[in-house]
Chain A
Amino acid sequence: MKKLLLVEDNEMNRDMLSRRLARRGYEIHVAVDGEQGLAEALRQLPDLIIMDMSLPVLDGWETTRRLKQLVETKAIPVLALTAHAMAGERDRALEAGCDDYDTKPVDFTRLLGKIENLIPAAT
Chain B
Amino acid sequence: MAGFGFSEHFPGVGNIPAIKPFRRIIRQGRMVLSQIMTSTITPTTEEPHSETNYRSIVEHAIEGIFQTTPDGRYLLANPALAQIYGYGSVGELKGNVKEIARQLYVDPDRRTEFIRLMKEHDAVWGFESPIYRKDGSIIWISENVRVIRGEDGKVLYYEGTVEDITERKRTEEELRRAKTAAEEASRSKSQFLANMSHELRTPLNAIIGYSELLREEAEDMGQDSFTGDLKKIEKAGKHLLELINGVLDIAKIEAGKMEIHAESFDVAAMINDVAATVAPVVEKKGNHFKISAGDNLGTMFTDMTKLRQSLFNLLGNAGKFTEGGMIRLEAERRTESSLDWVYFRVCDSGVGMTQEQAAKIFEAFTQADASTTRKFGGTGLGLAITREFTHMVGGEISVESVLGRGSTFTMRVPAELPAAVPEPVQAVSTPVVDENVELSSDSPLVLLIDDDLTIHELVRRFLQKEGFRTICAQSGAEGLELARKLQPSIIVLDVMMPTMDGWSVLTRLKGDPEVSDIPVVMLTMVDNKEMGFSLGVDDYMLKPIERSGFVSVLRKYCEPHGTPTILVVEDDATTRDMLRSSLEKEHFAVIEAGNGTEGLKQLAATRPAVILLDLMMPEMDGFQFTKEVRAHSEWRDIPILVMTAKDITAEDRARLDGQVSRILQKGACGREELLAEISTRISRATRITITEREVAA
Interface residues of A (CB under 8 A from B): 10, 12-13, 16-17, 19-20, 23, 83-88, 91, 104-106, 108
Q: Is the CB–CB distance between B206 and A16 below 8 Å?
A: yes
A sample of 14 more A-B contacts (CB under 8 A), given A16-B206, A20-B209, A88-B259, is A10-B202, A12-B205, A12-B210, A13-B205, A23-B217, A83-B202, A85-B245, A87-B305, A91-B261, A105-B209, A105-B241, A106-B209, A108-B209, A108-B212
Distance between Cα atoms of A83 and B204 in the complex (Å):
12
Smallest CB separation, B207 vs chain A (Å):
9
Query: Is A17 a contact partner of B209 (Cβ separation < 8 A)?
Result: yes
* Interface residue from B201, B216, B261 paired with A88 (Cβ < 8 Å): B261
Q: How far is the CA of A123 from the CA of B289 in the complex (A)?
A: 36
Nearest CB in chain B: distance from A82 CB, A: 11
Docked CA distance A16–B198 (Å): 19
Interchain CA distance A12-B208 in the complex, whole Å: 11
- Determine the interface band of chain B, counting residues with CB < 8 A from chain A: 10 to 19
Instruction: A85 to B246: give the CA distance in the assembly, Å.
Output: 12
Known: A20-B213, A105-B204. A84 touches B198 (CB 8 A): yes
CA distance A85 to B308 in the complex (A): 14
- By a CB distance below 8 angstroms, the chain A residues around B303 are 87
Contact assessment for B212 and A20 in the assembled complex, using a CB-CB cutoff below 8 Å: yes
Alpha-carbon gap, A87 to B260, bound state (A): 8
Given the complex, which residues of A lie within 8 Å of B259, measured CB to CB? 86-88
Cβ–Cβ contact A105 & B261, under 8 A: no
Contact, CB under 8 Å: B206 / A23? no
Interchain CB contact (< 8 A) of B209 among A13, A23, A86: A13
- Bound together, the chains give a CA A86 to CA B253 distance in angstroms of 13
Chain B binding surface SS class: helix
Interface residue from A12, A19, A83, A91 paired with B206 (Cβ < 8 Å): A12
Q: Which residues of A contact B209 (CB under 8 A)?
A: 12-13, 16-17, 20, 105-106, 108
- Could you tell me the distance in whole angstroms from the C-beta of B134 to the nearest C-beta in chain A? 63
Q: For A13, list chain B residues within 8 Å (CB).
A: 205-206, 209
24 CB contacts below 8 A, A to B, read: A12-B206, A12-B209, A12-B210, A13-B205, A16-B206, A16-B209, A16-B210, A16-B213, A20-B213, A23-B213, A23-B216, A23-B217, A83-B201, A84-B198, A85-B245, A87-B259, A87-B261, A87-B303, A87-B305, A88-B259, A91-B261, A105-B209, A105-B241, A106-B205
Nearest-neighbor residue (CB-CB) of A23 within chain B: B216
Residues of B within 8 A of A (CB): 198, 201-202, 204-206, 208-210, 212-213, 216-217, 241, 245, 259, 261, 303, 305
5 A-B pairs closest in CB distance: A105-B205, A87-B261, A12-B206, A16-B209, A20-B213
- Compute how far the CA of A3 lies from the CA of B201 in the bound complex, rounded to whole angstroms: 29
Min CB distance A21 to B, Å, is 10
B241: chain A residues at CB < 8 Å are: 105
Q: Which residue of A lies closest to B248 (CB)?
A: A85
Q: Closest B residue to A109 by CB, please name it.
A: B212
The answer to whether A105 touches B201, judged by C-beta atoms less than 8 angstroms apart, is yes
Give the Cβ gap from B292 to chain A, nearest Cβ, in Å: 28
Chain B: CB-nearest residue to A86: B259
Complex: how many Å from CA A104 to CA B241? 11
Chain A residues within 8 Å of B261, by CB: 87-88, 91
Query: Given the complex, which residues of A lie within 8 Å of B202, measured CB to CB?
Result: 10, 83, 104
What's the least CB distance linking A92 to chain B, in Å? Answer: 12
CB distance from B308 to the nearest CB of A (A): 12
Given the complex, which residues of B lie within 8 Å of A86, measured CB to CB? 259
Q: In this complex, which of B209, B212, B216, B305 has the most chain A Cβ atoms within 10 angstroms of its Cβ? A: B209
A86 to chain B, nearest CB (A): 7
- Which residue of chain A has its CB nearest to the CB of B304? A87
Q: Which residue of A lies closest to B249 (CB)?
A: A85
CA distance A104 to B206 in the complex (A): 10
Collect the chain B residues with CB atoms within 8 Å of residue A84's CB: 198
| A85–B241 alpha-carbon span in the complex (Å) | 13
Q: Report the minimal beta-carbon distance from A54 to chain B, rounded to whole angstroms.
A: 10
What's the minimum C-beta distance from A121 to chain B, rounded to whole angstroms? 22
Report B-chain residues with C-beta under 8 Å of the C-beta of A105: 201, 204-205, 208-209, 241
A14 to chain B, nearest CB (A): 10
Q: Which residues of A contact B210 (CB under 8 A)?
A: 12, 16
CB distance from A91 to the nearest CB of B (A): 7
Of all chain A residues, which has the CB nearest B209? A16
Within 8 Å CB of A108, what residues of B?
209, 212
Q: How many Å from the CB of B444 to the closest CB on chain A?
A: 35
- Bound state CA distance, A86 and B257, in angstroms? 10
Query: Chain A residues with Cβ under 8 A from B201's Cβ?
Result: 83, 104-105
Q: Which residues of B contact A23 (CB under 8 A)?
A: 213, 216-217
Contacts of B198 in A (CB 8 A): 83-84
Q: Shortest CB–CB separation between residue A2 and chain B, in angstroms?
A: 19
* Chain A positions within 8 Å of B216 at CB level: 20, 23
Chain A residue contacts of B305, Cβ below 8 A? 87
- CB proximity of B422 to chain A, nearest CB, Å: 19
List of B residues within 8 angstroms of A85 by Cβ: 245
The distance in angstroms between the C-alpha atoms of A91 and B262, with both chains bound, is 12
How distant is the Cα of A55 from the Cα of B391 in the complex, in angstroms? Answer: 36
Q: Which residues of B contact A10 (CB under 8 A)?
A: 202
* B contact residues around A88 at 8 Å (CB): 259, 261
**What's the Cα separation between A120 and B658 when bound, in Å?**
88
Q: Roughly how many angstroms separate A10 CA and B205 CA in the complex, as a whole number?
A: 11
Residues of B near A83 (CB, < 8 A) are 198, 201-202
Counting chain B CB atoms within 10 Å of each CB, the highest count among A13, A83, A85 belongs to A85
